Amino acid sequence: MKSMNKLLLALSFLVGIVTANSQTPWVAPKSADAISNPLKNDLTAIKKGKAIFVQFCAICHGDKGKGDGLAGAALNPKPASFITEKFLKQTDGAIYWKLTEGRPPMAGYKETLSETQRWQLVNYLKSLKK
């Protein structure tokens, strides 16, 4: 019985975190705005970023980055759309920071993608509106 209570308490805690995250805007720290994109305007980086997007992101964010992927339908908060003004107003550094750190239900990619791959992905995401 004690282990069941501990499990229920842990699940309640996790649900609380996800619920809190779904109601709070996700804002990168101000220091992230100062991170400079070493691959800015690099067409090769955009092409490589697209391949990374297809492999890691499209399942939740959709093929066109509109936040309408199949796996994203069940998530709370819903996956971001990368073609909105709200997204595009973010600095490259803020987007890079979010990709790196993550926030439930979005994974962080610090261990999965290299720094270069994360910058390639930033460049591709910023190119989607065009």
Looking at residue 129, what is its pLDDT?
86
The predicted-structure confidence for 1-35, as pLDDT tens digits, reads as follows 555 444 433 444 444 444 445 568 999 999 999 99
Q: Which residue has the tokens 């190119």?
A: 127
- pTM for this one? 0.81
Q: SS3 string of 27-74?
A: CCCHHHHHCCCCCCCCHHHHHHHHHHHHHHCHHHHCCCCCCCCCHHHH
Helix (H, G, I), strand (E, B) or coil at 24: coil
